[in-house]
Amino acid sequence: MYLLPGLIDFHTHLFRHGSTFGMDADKLLTAGVTTAVDMGTAGWVNYPALYHCDLSGKKLRLFSYLNISPVGQPGKGINEPLDDSVLDIGKMRELIEEYPKQICGIKVRISRSIVKELGLTPLKRAVEFGEQLGLPVCVHTTDPPEGAEQVAKLLRAGDVYSHVYHNKGSTILDQNGIVRSGLIDARERGVLMEVGNGRVNFSFPVAEKAAACHFWPDIISSDSTPATFHKEPAMWDLAAVMSKFLFLGMPLTEVIRAVTETPAKQLGLADKIGKVEPGYQADLILCRLKYGDVLFQDSDGNQRQGSQSIVPVTTIRSGQIAYQAD
């Protein structure tokens, strides 16, 4: 049995009352999660609804990245508008000033099906806004409109390259299956590489080649939604995504750091959560490393047979038991 800091799920969607992507935050407790980030499900138009309906009053410690689009990610096939005519840094600033303890970054999605002829302009705007507002940017990179290196080149230290192991369009790998130099350069200057597993954003062939280059994620996250959490075999929950990286050869200490210390630092809470030490919040998880056959799956249906998995047993939030396995 292991006693660990409560897990931080850096990429979730929690706007249950305003998006088909949104799930009940407190369900994450069963995966050992005590802190979670809603990753851009709402924009400045509907963020107050997200906060009052789905973040306030929950057992988890919750934060948000604000979508650069005013309406966030509605879901159900409705993509967010991202042209300059609808972006409004003034409205975003007002909202960030109203919710300074909750909003900790800016989110933008740049899949070709979303940005269309806008290309990388929405990402450039997000970085400009982030610079002016003093916030990091998290960019959804699956099937980008230009090459992965062009995307990474736009990011600053502290920005987040999400869905790093996707296999749609331009990926982090070159034609020889080696991690592109532009991605390595981005990491060296402080860009964080984040998993954001989800339903369509993780590929074993990509992750295995990246692992051969020792290109491990800085942040391991689930991208949980109602369609994936404890339903989708390609994701399941954060503990399952952690187990995938154990299978890939990532050291256990590094896997743990990627769901505790690193996201805590990214949230500006490195002195409060993410460690089991005196003076830190009593957010804890008891888990066991279960040995035995386990089947892992990626977004394309590729399967791998593993031999160990991380199983949450007890989740403690602020010193109180919030989840106990049967």
Return mean pLDDT, the chain.
Answer: 98
| 307 in any annotated domain | no
d(CA 325, CA 275): 23
Question: pLDDT tens, 259-311?
Answer: 999 999 999 999 999 999 999 999 999 999 999 999 999 999 999 999 999 99
Question: pLDDT tens, 84-131?
Answer: 999 999 999 999 999 999 999 999 999 999 999 999 999 999 999 999
| 320 in any annotated domain | no
User: Rounded to 5 degrees, what are φ and ψ at 146?
Assistant: -135, -175
Question: pLDDT tens, 282-295?
Answer: 999 999 999 999 99
> Model confidence at 206, in pLDDT bands (50, 70, 90)?
very high
d(CA 232, CA 236): 5
Please list, residue by residue across 124-140, b when 16 or more beta carbons sit within 10 angstroms of its beta carbon and e when fewer do: ebbbebbeebebbbbbb
| 42 in any annotated domain | yes
Contact (Cβ atoms closer than 8 angstroms) between residue 276 and residue 284: yes
Short-list 162, 158, 157, CA closest to 111:
162
Domain containing residue 247 = 7-282
Number of helices (H), then strands (E), belonging to the chain: the values are 10, 11
| 195 in any annotated domain | yes
| 271 in any annotated domain | yes
Q: Quick one: tokens of 29? A: 């407790």
194 Cβ partners below 8 Å, 6+ apart?
A: 10, 11, 138, 160, 161, 162, 163, 164, 217, 218, 219, 220, 221
239 Cβ partners below 8 Å, 6+ apart?
A: 7, 31, 32, 287, 309, 310, 311, 312
One-letter identity of residue 73: Q
* Residue that has been written with the tokens 């391991």 in this structure: 220
Residue 239 has pLDDT above 90, yes or no: yes
d(CA 13, CA 227): 11
| 304 in any annotated domain | no
Question: pLDDT tens, 7-18?
Answer: 999 999 999 999
Q: What CATH number did the domain enclosing 270 receive?
A: 3.20.20.140
Residue 326 has pLDDT above 90, yes or no: no
3-state secondary structure at position 198: coil
| 295 in any annotated domain | no
Question: pLDDT tens, 155-166?
Answer: 999 999 999 999
| 58 in any annotated domain | yes
Number of domain units in the chain: 1
